[in-house]
Amino acid sequence: MNEQTKTITTDGNKGYRYRPVLYFAMAYLFTWIFWVPAIFLPEDISVVLMLLGLISPAVVSTVFIMTSGSEALKADLKAKIFGFYKVKWLNVLLSVIVFALIVVCSILLSLAFGQSADQFAFTSDFNFTGVGIAGALFTIIIASVLEEIGWKGYCEDSIGNYMNWFWESVIFGAIWSFWHFPLIFIQGTYQAGLMVNPLFVINFFVSAIPMGFIITWVYLASDRSILACIVFHLFVNFMQEKIAMTPETKCVETIVVFIATAIIVWVKRDMFFETRHIGRILET
C-alpha cells in the first residue's frame, strides 16, 4: 500500500484504520474455542458452548469498536443498530419477496427431479434438536441478531474499506461460510444433519457465498443498517428451517440463489463496483 493510499485510508475515516485480518483471527479463535470442545461433549453441554461461540463475533466486533478510540466508529455502530431512519423498508420487503421467490422456484424446479410438492408445507419441527421448539425459535432469533451485529458491526466494513463491494462480498461470503465448519461435527446441529451426504455439506458451504452478496445488497440499500439485515436474516433462517424442503432441493436452491445474485449484482452494479467509499466509510 503506497503512502497516498495510507493517507486516504486513515484520514478519510477520521483517523481510524480498519483491521480486518486481526478481526477475523479473533472472531474465529473465540468462536471455535467453544465449538471445537462441543464436538466431544454431551448435547446438553454442547448447546451452551454453541451459544457462546455464536455470541463471539458480536463480542469481538463490539470490543474492537469500543476500544478503538474512534468516536466516529462508535457513533457509526450506534446508528447502524438503532437508526430506524436508515432502513429502507420497501427494499427490505423486496429482499424478503426475492428470497421467498427463490424458495418457490427451487421447489418447483425440484419437482422435475422427483421431489415432492409436499415441500410447500411447513414442517412441524426444526432441523436441529436438543433445545425444543421454543429453544429452537429462540436460537434462530438470537442467531439472526448476534451474527449481524458481529459481521455488520465491524467485519464487512473492515473489508469494504479496502475494495469494492463485489470483492468484499466474495471474501466475506467465503470467510462467513467456513466459520460454520465445526458445526458439522456437533450432534444436533442443522449442519451435522447434512453429514448423511457429502454433497449436502458442500452445498451448505457453497450456498453461503451468493447469500453474502444478497445480504450485502440489503445492508447497503438501507445505508449500512444492521437492523435491516437482522430482519432479512431472520426471515431467511425461518424459511430454511420451517419450509419442508429436502436437502436435494436445497442443492437446487443454491443454483437459483446464484442466478438471483447475478441479477441483483447486474441491476445494482454501481453499488457493487463503485469505489467512492474506499477509505471513507465513516465519512459516507
Q: Is the separation of the CB atoms in 24 and 30 below 8 Å?
A: no
Measure the CA–CA gap between 58 and 106, rounded to whole angstroms. Answer: 32
Catalytic site includes residue 180: yes
Question: Active-site residue among 156, 180, 277, 283?
Answer: 180
Q: Is the separation of the CB atoms in 242 and 122 below 8 Å?
A: yes
DSSP the chain: --HHHHHHHHHTTTT----HHHHHHHHHHHHHHHHHHHTTS-HHHHHHHHHHHHHHHHHHHHHHHHTS--HHHHHHHHHHHH-GGG--HHHHHHHHHHHHHHHHHHHHHHGGGT--GGGGSBPSS-SS-SSHHHHHHHHHHHHHHHHHHHIIIIIHHHHHTTS-HHHHHHHHHHHHHHHTGGGGGSTTSTTGGGGG-HHHHHHHHHHHHHHHHHHHHHHHHTTS-HHHHHHHHHHHHHHHHHB---HHHHHHHHHHHHHHHHHHHHHTHHHHH--TTTT-TTT-
Measure the CA–CA gap between 151 and 142, rounded to whole angstroms. Answer: 14
Measure the CA–CA gap between 247 and 29, rounded to whole angstroms. Answer: 30
Catalytic site includes residue 147: yes
Question: Active-site residue among 3, 147, 156, 274?
Answer: 147
Residues known to be catalytic: 147, 180
